[in-house]
Structure 1
Amino acid sequence: MNITSIRHKLTGWTKPIIKLIAKTGISPNMITLISFILGIGAAVLFAFAYYLPGAILLAVSGFFDLTDGGVARINNRKSRFGAFIDWIADKYIDGIVLLGIGLSCFVATPWYLAHVPLPTVVYVAAAGAAVIGSIMNTFIKPVAYAEIGFQGKENGKITDPLEGVGFFGRPETFILLILGGLTGFIWIAVLIIAVCTNISAIQRIIYLWKKYGKEPELPDGEKDADVRVNGKNHTIPEEK
């Protein structure tokens, strides 16, 4: 169980705002670009140890990230490239924000660690572990599509083979970074992210191993047409 698996229950409050944004005629890709620029701005602020304004900017970036898909649906402007570029922008923001926080250790020492003489390498290692965990946690899903051959679809959209698997994902990371920046405990947040994202990635690997570990590799050119969607077997017809 994670926030992503219950996202539809938590984002209902955004619908009226999404409708207002959709009426402006702004394109979903432009919203993605705005979210990306704000995320980069947050990373720069974090790098200079301006944690509070950085957290506020990151929260605004996250809000815009929540709206682009809804605007695309309302205005009937959904596209494969739009979904792709949104996903890529998210990964860049994740990595650059954590990198920015890592660089802040050269600018300032957190007040709650002022009496604990930790070498700079410890801060860099914590930020690096958080980056690795965040990347691994998200890239396991596309690998499941590409290498395992998962092709389940619902309402024309590819389903998530790891829905609800792993207790810590991108929303949890975002929330912790925002809370850490607002309260000043940003490095505590980074440490929690470093531990939890990697544990969550291991959970996903174990899940896929248990589900597909005993299945033989398919010959080149063949795909597994039988998949499970919401606990039921489905056969995906070949595209013509």
Structure 2
Amino acid sequence: MKAVIIAAGKGSRFNSEQPKPLTSLLGLSLIGRVILSAKKAGITEFVIVTGYKAELLKKRIGGGGKYDVTILYVHNSNWRMGNGISVLKAEEIVGRENFLLLMADHVFDLKMLKILCSKNLEKNGCILCIDKNLEDIDFEEATKVLVRNGLIEDIGKTIQTYNGVDCGAFLCSPAVFEAIRTSLSHGEDTLTDGVKILCDKNKVRAADVTGVSWQDIDTQENLRAAEEMLLKSLKKKTDGLIAKAINRRFSLRISKYVSRFGINPNELSVFCFLLGVISGGLFAFQNFILGGVLAQAASVFDGVDGEIARLTMRESRYGGFLDSILDRYADAFIILGMTYAIYMERGGLWVWLGGCLALIGSPMSMLAREKYHAMTGHKYLLKYDRRSRFIPATRDVRLFVVMLGGILHQPLIALMVIAVITNMKAYLRLVDMRETISEGPRKTTSIPIV
């Protein structure tokens, strides 16, 4: 199935000479974000309807190679008129196939397209994503809908009775082209006018996406709202205690700034690793304060690489693998640096024993989760931690303990705390796993630990 993207408008309220679809949002153009979102939903063929400064848009987006998709273009020379004409222009390429219809200036969560694509489209019908949450809606600009029993009975910006708004994502049959032609014969040239004709025939169903994040970009204020929406989406329910309370507050600000430079997330993973190595070196030379500060900086940047990957839709399995391996090495350098410094100050083989326990315990939390996934094919779920959930031993907590130990000139206490909490966590998780693995994984809606 193809996706048609309407990208003909100028976006006069942006006061910019470039086409609005090329407006940058946290490292990606608006239209690039739409393309990559649709690609994640399984769409690899696109038809882009151009208008204002078409050649510039085509030059910037290209034939789809940089997105690993196929893109065809069709031009609407009457782009100043209603967007229904732009939709009609796509008919010559789409033909008699069903297709997705998307707007280049809409930002949305991938869940929206997954919900839409999961629907069964009736012959000569249309399905429109609608949102029934009417809070914070610009009612003058929003296209409103009246939905009853899953059917959209009315649609328009000026209708008086409504219970939802149009989200700008459609699953269409070719019947929409004929409906638009009919509306044009009545002097009405918008897509909404054509959809309204199908509504009168009970041919438009609603895909309720209430609760899914999306934003129509018409003004700079909308752009800022979309930015805030995307940054907020980067927070994870599975974040550790320190990541949630401290790290995300800094990492989101850093990611917002860094996203504009096109830096590869893997490069940020390497940078984070180097921070860990330098921290370990500073500890070894007994510069405890700076070593501790850099350890916490590494903890913050450990979130930035993943945030940038998600913001710019460059997530990859290799990137996750690289990040995980480099984190383990960085942790080892920090612990070894601390152990060496304590040994040089106090002496005694017991120091190395404590360092070894911290070194062994640190990766155990991740290893247990990965081993469970490899054995069962299921993600490790928070509910499996019956006893061990009360031991905070995630990486963000460990590095925070390192920072406190450095700043307070108490690296020995920090090292011992890490040795105790990580190995206690590993032991309790072994006890938990004995019960979980014997029971087998059960269907659940619990939060996965990733």
State the TM bucket, normalised to the shorter chain. Answer: 0.7 to 0.9
Which residue of the other structure, out of 247, 261, 268, is the alignment partner of 1:24? 261
Within 2, Cα distance between the matches of 1:66 and 1:193?
A: 21
Matched, 1:134 2:359: no
Within 2, Cα distance between the matches of 1:36 and 1:131?
A: 16
Closer, same or farther: CA 126–66 of 1 in aligned 2, 3 Å: same
Within 2, Cα distance between the matches of 1:42 and 1:161?
A: 32
Which sections of structure 1, spanning at least 5 residues, go unmatched?
A: 110-118, 153-159, 216-225, 233-240
Which residue of structure 2 lines up, in the alignment, with residue 228 of structure 1? 443
Which residue of structure 1 lines up, in the alignment, with residue 285 of structure 2? 48
Within 2, Cα distance between the matches of 1:94 and 1:58?
A: 9
Native 8 Å contact 1:150 1:161 kept in 2? no
Which residue of the other structure, out of 418, 425, 447, is the alignment partner of 1:193? 418
Native 8 Å contact 2:384 2:432 kept in 1? no
Give the structure with the higher percent helix.
Answer: 1
Residue 173 of structure 1 aligns with an amino acid whose one-letter code is: R
1:5 CA drift (Å): 7.2
Within 1, Cα distance between the matches of 2:282 and 2:382?
A: 34
Closer, same or farther: CA 48–228 of 1 in aligned 2, 3 Å: farther
Closer, same or farther: CA 131–123 of 1 in aligned 2, 3 Å: same
If the length of structure 1 is used for normalisation, what is the TM-score? Answer: 0.76
Which residue of structure 1 lines up, in the alignment, with residue 353 of structure 2? 125
1:15 CA drift (Å): 2.3
Which residue of structure 2 lines up, in the alignment, with residue 180 of structure 1? 405
User: Which is higher, the Rg of structure 1 or of structure 2?
Assistant: 2
Q: Which has the higher contact order (CA 8 A, sep 6+)?
A: 1
Give the structure with the higher percent strand.
Answer: 2
State the number of aligned residues. 204
**Per-residue CA shift, 1:67-99, capped at 9, x if unaligned?**
111101111111110011011111111122111
Native 8 Å contact 2:343 2:352 kept in 1? no
1:137 CA drift (Å): 2.6
Alignment of 1:1-240 (within 5 A): 4=240, 7=243, 12-13=248-249, 14-109=251-346, 119-147=347-375, 149-152=376-379, 160-162=380-382, 165=385, 166=388, 167=391, 168-213=393-438, 227-231=442-446
Residue 50 of structure 1 aligns with an amino acid whose one-letter code is: N
Which residue of structure 1 lines up, in the alignment, with residue 234 of structure 2? none
Native 8 Å contact 2:299 2:396 kept in 1? no
Residue 292 of structure 2 aligns with an amino acid whose one-letter code is: A
Identity %: 26
Which residue of structure 2 lines up, in the alignment, with residue 112 of structure 1? none
Residue 323 of structure 2 aligns with an amino acid whose one-letter code is: D
Residue 351 of structure 2 aligns with an amino acid whose one-letter code is: Y
**Per-residue CA shift, 1:108-140, capped at 9, x if unaligned?**
23xxxxxxxxx5111111111111111223211
Residue 199 of structure 1 aligns with an amino acid whose one-letter code is: M
